[in-house]
């Protein structure tokens, strides 16, 4: 009789919800990327988004909730023990009675990027966080220092728009200004200023999404030589460098592996800028490496380890 047991890994981000189903040997059976965020701080439909993605992934794998041996869910916005009250609701489905481990999505990202080995991951996309796991297994976040690197997509965009509205622009910013006006449907800088005086949008979710969607224009403009975009990106990179170095000071070795994850930090300009800054960094020698696995696969690895299996993840069935 075929063993139908599976594990589920979830990468519940601030934009999308990703769910992977694997058998107990680490073979991928299904992967679903659902619309909508997993965090209630980003999407009021977070519970529906996660439950639907789980249901769809199990259906694609031809499995039921009763086949699940373990589930690991990395959820954006899960930062304090009090958050578990809403985080645990995300994975409540009829028959899904297996052991479940709910963690911050950065922990899933770290497990995937560095395969559970010591090192630091820098996440900068919809959100921003820096997480290190030392040689002794101690997890340290920049949040633990009450430090936050304003490098998430919306912050990059806010800063660039502020600089433009403040008049700190020159001819190198022409392309960025044109795309800013088009993005907000404004005919001129004056009209854009009027939008800002009105707070852009009274709906916080809609406002942050609008700014987040503009971030790729900022990183692209920086690559093209925009002075505003370059200043904005450098501020973000310097804050990320500080967070990395604070965490790096807790490592006992002289060399620390660092991986970048997220649309902002993996953009060509910011990625290269932060690499350059780290070459003259304090405390350690930082070796920037490409993530080995995706965050959702990191959740699967953790789920397999929870049931005592260290099997590698293999390809999806054809």
Q: For 46-71, what is each residue's pLDDT tens digit?
A: 999 999 999 999 999 999 999 999 99
How far, in Å, CA of 10 to CA of 21, rounded? 9
Residues 91 and 131 in one domain: no
How far, in Å, CA of 318 to CA of 315, rounded? 9
Residues 24 and 132 in one domain: no
For the chain, give the percent of residues with pLDDT over 90.
81
Per residue in 257-267, pLDDT (tens digit) is: 999 999 999 99
Taking residue 29's Cβ as centre, other Cβ atoms within 10 Å add up to 18
The answer to the question of residue 178 being in a domain is yes
How far, in Å, CA of 261 to CA of 165, rounded? 30
The answer to the question of residue 316 being in a domain is no
pLDDT at 128 over 50: yes
Q: Tokens 């592996």 label which residue?
A: 257
Phi, psi values for residue 225, rounded to 5°? 100, 10
Mean pLDDT, residues 291-299 taken together:
94
Q: Structural domain tally of the chain?
A: 2
Residues 120 and 247 in one domain: yes
Query: What band does 197 get if pLDDT is binned at 50, 70 and 90?
Result: very high
Residues 139 and 275 in one domain: yes
- Cβ atoms of 298 and 22 within 8 Å: the answer is no
The answer to the question of residue 229 being in a domain is yes
Per residue in 113-123, pLDDT (tens digit) is: 998 899 999 99
Q: Which residue has the higher pLDDT, 318 or 71?
A: 71
How many angstroms separate the Cα of 246 from the Cα of each of 80, 282, 297? Answer: 21, 9, 28
Per residue in 137-159, pLDDT (tens digit) is: 999 999 999 999 999 999 999 99
Question: Which token pair is 24?
Answer: 């107990």
Residues 121 and 95 in one domain: no
Residues 123 and 36 in one domain: no
Question: Which token pair is 258?
Answer: 């660092």
How far, in Å, CA of 156 to CA of 216, rounded? 9
Residues 94 and 192 in one domain: no
Query: Which residues, including other chains, have CB under 8 Å from residue 263's CB and lie 6 or more apart?
Result: 125, 126, 153, 215, 216
pLDDT at 318: 31
Range of the domain at 11: 6-112+294-306
pTM for this prediction: 0.84
How far, in Å, CA of 245 to CA of 242, rounded? 5
Could you give the angle at the alpha carbon of 102 between the alpha carbons of 99 and 104, nearest 5°? 160
Beta bridge partners of 32: 19
Q: Tokens 């932060």 label which residue?
A: 274
Q: Tokens 């300009």 label which residue?
A: 269
The answer to the question of residue 236 being in a domain is yes
Beta bridge partners of 103: 74
Question: Which token pair is 297?
Answer: 């696969």
Residues 61 and 186 in one domain: no
Residues 249 and 176 in one domain: yes
Residues 197 and 258 in one domain: yes
- DSSP assignment of 210-268 equals HHHHHHHHHHHHHHTT-HHHHHHHHHHHHHHHHHHHHHHTT-SSSEEEEEEESTTTTSH
How far, in Å, CA of 11 to CA of 27, rounded? 18
Question: Which token pair is 96?
Answer: 């899904």
The answer to the question of residue 317 being in a domain is no
Residues 16 and 54 in one domain: yes
Residues 46 and 195 in one domain: no
What b/e sequence results for 77-111 when a residue is b if at least 16 CB atoms lie within 10 Å of its CB, and e otherwise? bbeeeebeebbeebbebeebebebebbbbbbbbbb
């Amino acid at each position: 009789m075929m063993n139908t047991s599976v594990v589920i890994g979830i990468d519940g981000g601030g934009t999308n919800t990703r769910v992977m189903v694997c058998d107990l040997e680490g073979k991928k059976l299904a992967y679903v990327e659902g619309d909508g965020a997993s965090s209630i701080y980003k999407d009021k439909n977070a519970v529906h988004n996660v439950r639907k993605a789980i249901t769809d992934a199990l259906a694609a794998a031809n499995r039921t909730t009763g086949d699940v041996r373990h589930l690991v869910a990395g959820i954006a916005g899960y930062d304090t023990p009090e958050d578990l009250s809403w985080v645990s609701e995300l994975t409540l489905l009829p028959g899904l009675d297996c052991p479940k481990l709910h963690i911050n999505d950065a922990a899933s990202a770290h497990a995937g990027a560095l395969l559970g080995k010591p090192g630091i991951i820098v996440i900068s996309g919809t959100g921003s966080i820096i997480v290190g796991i030392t040689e002794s297994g101690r997890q340290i976040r920049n949040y633990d220092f009450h430090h936050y690197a304003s490098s998430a997509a919306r912050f990059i965009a806010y800063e660039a728009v502020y600089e433009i509205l403040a008049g700190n622009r020159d001819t190198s910013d022409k392309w960025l200004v044109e795309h800013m006006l088009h993005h907000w449907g404004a005919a001129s800088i004056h009209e854009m200023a009027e939008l800002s005086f009105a707070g852009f949008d009274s709906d916080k979710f809609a406002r942050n999404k609008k700014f987040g969607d503009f971030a790729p224009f900022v990183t692209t403009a920086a690559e093209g030589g925009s002075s505003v975009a370059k200043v904005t990106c450098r501020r973000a990179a310097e804050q990320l460098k500080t967070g990395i170095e604070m965490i790096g000071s807790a490592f006992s070795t002289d060399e620390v592996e660092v991986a970048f994850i997220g649309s902002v930090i993996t953009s060509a300009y910011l990625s290269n800028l932060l690499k350059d800054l780290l070459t003259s960094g304090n405390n350690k020698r930082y070796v920037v490496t490409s993530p080995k696995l995706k965050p959702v696969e990191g959740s699967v690895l953790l789920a397999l380890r929870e049931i005592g299996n260290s099997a590698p993840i293999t390809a999806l069935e054809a």
